[in-house]
Amino acid sequence: MAALALTGPKELLLRLPTEPSVRMSILEHTADENQDGTWTVTVYAPEERIPAIEALGYAVLVVESDASLLARWQEIQVHEPDVS
């Protein structure tokens, strides 16, 4: 999973949870209105889905790549204390 910033008109972003062709998890409290009237929201989705997301009309910026997020999670797991 990558962290992606999606930008588009508010009407387009309101359709995000119902887009069956592109599964993603929307991060809470990340929607922000831009000066040009568009909105940006951050989601988790695999990087290979970027072309499908762009085809729906969203502008996509990779905030954190699949590899980077995986490395961070592996770091957390390695340093997690054993729980008995």
pLDDT of residue 62: 95
C-alpha 40/C-alpha 51 separation (Å) is: 17
What the chain holds in terms of domains, given with CATH numbers, is 2-78 (3.30.70)
Distances 28 to 25, 32, 41, 54, 83 between C-alpha atoms, Å: 9, 11, 9, 21, 30
DSSP lists the bridge partners of residue 76 as none
pLDDT of residue 4: 94
pLDDT of residue 33: 93
pLDDT of residue 81: 63
Query: How many beta carbons lie within 10 A of that of residue 72, not counting itself?
Result: 11
Residue 77 tokens, joined: 């797991």
For residue range 16-63, what is the model confidence (pLDDT) as tens digits? 767 777 888 888 888 899 999 999 999 999 999 999 999 989 999 999
pLDDT of residue 78: 63
pLDDT of residue 27: 85
